[in-house]
Structure 1
Amino acid sequence: MQIDVLIDVKTTLGEGPLWDVQEQRLYWIDSVDGRVFRATADGSEIRAWQVPQKIGSMALRKNGGAIVALARGVHFLDLNTGDVELINDPEPNLKNNRLNDGKVDASGRFLFGSMDTLEDGPNGALYRLDADLTVHKLQDGIVVSNGPCWSPDGKTFYFSDTWSGEIWAYDYDVEMGSISNRRVFAVLQGENFRSSDGSTVDEEGGLWNAQVYEGKLVRYAPDGTIDRAIPMPVKNVTSVMFGGENLDTLFVTSMARPPLSRFPTDSVQGGSVFKITGLGVRGLPEHRFAG
């Protein structure tokens, strides 16, 4: 196994790595500075788009372009012009919230969550955006929504509230896009923080989680037991995604500056995108939004 800095861009809050198998390109975001980035697997041909608000996550669309979960609603993003268009703001009256992490299921629906910007109140929720652009609330009472992903067969949905100290599993109805039977999949272990951030699932069903402020990645076996833990060169790792030609490179985002003063600062490599090779496992292609 080898860990390298792929791109040293010093994102204030790097997040949401997304590998697109069609373009063979890596996307990621800077949540605080409101930017979307794209590069090749070797870190070249970097391009950036500025969006008008803080951004929590993004997904590509089947018909071209992207959708982005900005602070105040889900928007279309035209990757040719950079223009954004509001689809739906599910929380128009919750001014201290913003939208956060999100991913697309096997049927092309976008599941995304919101978060309390002070990270101390259960004011967030989990939502589903369907192809017809309707939004449906799936769960509320969340402080910071994070880590949505699915088992390889799509029948188990994983999700976390960063400050719960747990990763949850749900039964997922692939046809309806509904969740049920929430249970604890894994309990985090940390010296100072038990904080779950972005996750992805590999082809063997292992769940990889970035444990922000603890500086490590953890792979959980399908039964929730710890399979391996990887210490990173920075404390503030934020999310993970497999990519590259063979889907066997793990891309890892990080932050240069934590959002609140109570969180730890980091080394000069904070904010970089890292790549990890030689893990011996492959990821799964990400789906595109059907709307």
Structure 2
Amino acid sequence: MRIEVLVDVKTTLGEGPVWDVAEQRLYWIDSLGCKVYRCTANGREVRAWDVPERIGSMALRRRGGAVLALANGFHFLDFKSGETQLIVDPEPGEVSNRLNDGKVDRQGRFVVGSMDVNEEGPNGALYRLDPDLSLHRLDDKIICSNGPCWSPDGRTFYFADSWSGEIWAYDYELDTGSASNRRTFAKLDTSSGGAADGSTVDAEGYLWNAQVYDGRLIRYSPEGKVDRVIEMPVKKVTSVNFGGPNMDILYVTSMSKPPLPRFPVDGIQGGSLFAIYDLGVRGIEEPRFGG
């Protein structure tokens, strides 16, 4: 195994790596810098798009372009023009909240959670945007939504409220997109100040979680047991996703500045996009949004 800095763009809050199998490109975002980035598997041909608000997550669309979870609602992004178009704001008037982490399920629905911007109050909720652009609430009373992903068969949905100290599992209904029977999947060791951030599931059904402020990536078995621990060169790792020509490179985002004063700072590599090679594990292609 080896860890390399793939792109050194010093994202303020790097998040949400997404590998595009069709175009063989990696996308990721700077949540606080209001940008979407793209590069090749080896970190070349870097391109960026500005977006008008803080961005929590993005997913590619079957029709081209992307769907974004911006601070004040779901938007489409046209890569050719750079223009964004509002779809719906799920929390109008909630000035203390913003949309955060999200991913697309196997049926093409975009599941995104909101968060309290001060990461203190349980003001957030979990939403599902369907391909017909209808909006549905799946859960609520969340402080900081993070780490949505699914088991390979799509029937188990994983999600975390970062400050709960847990990663949860839900039963996920394939036909309707409903989530039920929330339970604890894994408990984190939070003694050093870490919290659950972005996650992905590999082809073997193991969940990988970036534990922000603790500088570790944890691989959990389908039973929620710690299988592997990777110590990263920075503390503020934020999200993970597999990609590359063989889907065997683990891409890891990080932040250059903490969003709040109480969080620790990193060295010169903070904000870099990292690539981890030779893990002996492959990922699963991320579905595209159907709308």
User: TM range, normalised to the smaller chain?
Assistant: over 0.9
Give me the whole-angstrom Cα distance separating, in 2, the residues matched to 1:141 and 1:93.
17
Q: Which residue of structure 1 lines up, in the alignment, with residue 274 of structure 2?
A: 274
Counterpart contact for 1:211–1:237, Cα < 8 Å? yes
Give me the whole-angstrom Cα distance separating, in 2, the residues matched to 1:65 and 1:130.
17
1:126 aligned to 2:126?
Answer: yes
Query: What do residues 37-82 of structure 1 show as CA deviations (whole Å, max 9, x unaligned)?
Result: 0000000000000000000000000010101000000000000000
Q: Which residue of structure 1 lines up, in the alignment, with residue 3 of structure 2?
A: 3
Counterpart contact for 1:256–1:270, Cα < 8 Å? yes
Q: Which residue of structure 2 lines up, in the alignment, with residue 290 of structure 1?
A: 290
How much has 1:192 moved relative to structure 2? Answer: 1.9
Query: What do residues 88-116 of structure 1 show as CA deviations (whole Å, max 9, x unaligned)?
Result: 00001110100000000010000001000
Counterpart contact for 2:72–2:91, Cα < 8 Å? yes
Counterpart contact for 2:165–2:190, Cα < 8 Å? no
> Within 5 A, what are the aligned runs for 1:43-62?
43-62=43-62
Give me the whole-angstrom Cα distance separating, in 2, the residues matched to 1:5 and 1:33.
20
Give the gaps of 5 or more residues in structure 2.
none
- Structure 1 residue runs of 4 or more that deviate by more than 3 Å after TM superposition: none
Q: Which residue of structure 2 lines up, in the alignment, with residue 211 of structure 1?
A: 211
Give me the whole-angstrom Cα distance separating, in 2, the residues matched to 1:192 and 1:121.
22
Counterpart contact for 1:147–1:200, Cα < 8 Å? yes
For 1:81, what is the secondary structure of its paired residue?
coil
Q: Which residue of structure 1 lines up, in the alignment, with residue 185 of structure 2?
A: 185
Q: Which residue of structure 1 lines up, in the alignment, with residue 195 of structure 2?
A: 195
Give me the whole-angstrom Cα distance separating, in 2, the residues matched to 1:170 and 1:264.
32
CA RMSD in angstroms comes to 0.5
The residue type equivalent to 2:175 in the other structure is E
Counterpart contact for 2:196–2:212, Cα < 8 Å? yes
Give me the whole-angstrom Cα distance separating, in 1, the residues matched to 2:190 and 2:126.
25
Percentage of matched positions with identical amino acids:
66
Give me the whole-angstrom Cα distance separating, in 1, the residues matched to 2:27 and 2:160.
22
Q: Which residue of structure 1 lines up, in the alignment, with residue 249 of structure 2?
A: 249
The residue type equivalent to 1:282 in the other structure is R
For 2:196, what is the secondary structure of its paired residue?
coil
The residue type equivalent to 1:53 in the other structure is E
The residue type equivalent to 1:183 in the other structure is R
1:24 aligned to 2:24?
Answer: yes
Q: Which residue of structure 1 lines up, in the alignment, with residue 223 of structure 2?
A: 223
For 1:163, what is the secondary structure of its paired residue?
helix
1:240 aligned to 2:279?
Answer: no
Query: What do residues 197-237 of structure 1 show as CA deviations (whole Å, max 9, x unaligned)?
Result: 00000000000000000000000000000001000000000
Counterpart contact for 1:191–1:214, Cα < 8 Å? no
Q: Which residue of structure 2 lines up, in the alignment, with residue 166 of structure 1?
A: 166
Q: Number of paired residues?
A: 291
